[in-house]
Amino acid sequence: MGERSSHPAGSGTGELILGGQRSGKSRCAESRAADWLALPGRSAVLLATALAGDDEMHSRIARHRHDRAARGPGLETDEVPRELAAAVRRHSEPGRMVLVDCLSLWLTNLRMPLHGEAVADAELDRHVGGLCDALQSARGPVVLVSNEIGLGLSPLGAEARRFVDDLGRLHQSVAAQCARVTLLVAGIEVPVKRAAR
């Protein structure tokens, strides 16, 4: 993936929510959706990117579904492991919030899939560019969740190092399209970017 996004900085209604494992980022995003749904005439959809490759992941996904149903009644779900840009375009409309959870699992599905071949650099660029275009042309708010994994030591394996690099560049590209970027630390929201009004 290229070092820089070719897409201009966005000033729309998108928000990227980053955080480590169990930082509260999904709960934060669901809270955004619940606030949105509290007003009449609004709808929201979750684009879930997770794939269950083992029993633990099956349990994790089931727990997330249960928690979402309790915290965000009225939030629809569409499972989108790979074609995320098309799903954002399909669902985005005025009065409808699109919630993406999460970008790091989406990237995993592209670069380290459970089945089939990993996408090459050029194909990854196409996916990321398509997502940025979809965010730029979104007709309603989009909230994206992702894991921030680049704050520790560099991994020993080449594949893991490439993934960390890819995710960091993906975050930069998506953040450029979003009016807001928020970092979750121990359940606390830390504003990183707030577009001028």
Give the catalytic positions in this structure: 64
Phi-psi sector, 100: left (phi>0), alpha (psi -120 to 50), beta:
beta
Pairing of strands 96-101, 43-48: parallel
DSSP assignment string, 55-70:
HHHHHHHHHHHHHHHH
Query: Considering all CA atoms of the chain, what is the largest pairwise distance in Å, rounded to the nearest integer?
Result: 51
Which residue pairs, CB below 8 angstroms and at least 24 apart, start in 191-197? 192/18, 195/11
**What is the sign, positive or negative, of the torsion defined by CA atoms of 156, 159, 162, 164?**
negative
Name, in order, each residue with C-beta under 8 angstroms of 109's C-beta and a sequence gap of 6 or more: 49, 51, 81, 82
Contact 62, 55 (CB under 8 A): no
Q: Distance between CA 81 and CA 105 in Å, rounded? A: 8
Q: Residue 108 burial by CB count (10 A; 0-12/13-18/19+): exposed, middle or buried?
A: buried
